[in-house]
Amino acid sequence: MTDFRKRIADSSILVVGDVMLDRYWFGEVDRISPEAPVPVVHVQREEYRLGGAANVAANAAALGASVTLMSVVGEDEAGEKLASVIHRSGIKGILKKDDQLSTTVKLRVSGRSQQLLRIDFENRPGNEVLERMTGDFCAVVDQYDAVLLSDYGKGGLGHVSTMIDAARAAGKPVLVDPKGRDYAPYRGATVVTPNRGELALVTGAWSSEAELERLSRTLRDELDLGALLVTRSEEGMSLFDDAGHFRVGADAREVFDVTGAGDTVIATLATLVAAGMPLRDAVPIANRAGGIVVAKFGTSVVGYDDLFGA
């Protein structure tokens, strides 16, 4: 695998999408509040991690790829902290600032080794800053080996169709982690990676493998998708492409925290594709990466040695 490590190191990925700052407060719980039936957490440690598209970028960087992250943040303390953590993670950040935007922050409070509360701070970026970011994307996309679009529904991919068209015109594979009930904006993508719940919102529920195959084929045909990769939790993964249905069983591990598992899967997939690995060869490895990360707490990354051994 030494040669493949070099191929990954020589590859470059452009990640675009909704970034978040994951803020953790860790503490001890030894009593219930006299004001309400809730635990009192004595906070003893604070930690910042990358969330959303930033976590996707961190996973690709952890595998050894050269990663550029393009997104929008607010002109606020959280935006500055996020930029700092991005830089420390070895990621090149191209962050547009919107003075009307509050950088998305997810604050998680944990005690006794479990999450007790999550508080979200967020709003949506303005169209003007999104247009500037799209222009920058089109100007640089030909410099990368793969494009990864991470949609968390926070508004950062308001011009995703233009980005996909530009990337495909430049001959670059485009991988999309989708959001919402309408996948029309992802038309022409190389691969879209919903989980089974997300796909059911778009296609409707299925009652058999044959029906799932039919629904997936219809969606691919309607949107001219190269492939559809459905992550199915304990049922593993299903890749639907021109060759048919490729099924990968679940990577059996103790599940500690599923936070960010989808980020790890698509980041691993994009990294391997950028390094020249065929999609069908990359899917089982991405599945293994997802199995590793669910055994960790919070948004975490999987390194090259975690995945392939030293």
| Arithmetic mean of pLDDT, 273-288 | 95
Which element (helix H / strand E) includes 289?
Answer: helix 279-293
Packing angle, helices 279-293 and 261-274, rounded to 10: 150
Least confident range of 26-40, 193-207, 262-276, 291-305: 291-305
Mean pLDDT of the chain: 91
State the Cα–Cα distance between residues 245 and 229, nearest whole angstrom.
Answer: 10
- Measure the N-to-C terminal CA separation of the chain; round to a whole number of Å: 9
Share of the chain above pLDDT 70, in %: 94
pTM, rounded to two decimals: 0.90
- Asked whether the predicted pLDDT for residue 44 surpasses 90, the reply is yes
State the Cα–Cα distance between residues 174 and 286, nearest whole angstrom.
Answer: 16
Band (pLDDT 50/70/90 cuts) for residue 259 is low
CA 84-88-89 angle, to 5 degrees, is: 115
Q: Are 290 and 261 in contact (CB under 8 A)?
A: yes
List strands edge to edge, sheet with 12-17.
92-98, 66-74, 12-17, 146-150, 174-177, 191-192, 227-231, 237-241, 244-248
Q: Which residues are catalytic?
A: 263
| pLDDT in the model for residue 86 | 96
| Arithmetic mean of pLDDT, 87-105 | 93
- Asked whether the predicted pLDDT for residue 303 surpasses 70, the reply is yes
State the pairing for strand pair 105-111/114-121. Answer: antiparallel
- Asked whether the predicted pLDDT for residue 10 surpasses 90, the reply is yes
| pLDDT in the model for residue 257 | 43
State the Cα–Cα distance between residues 137 and 125, nearest whole angstrom.
Answer: 17
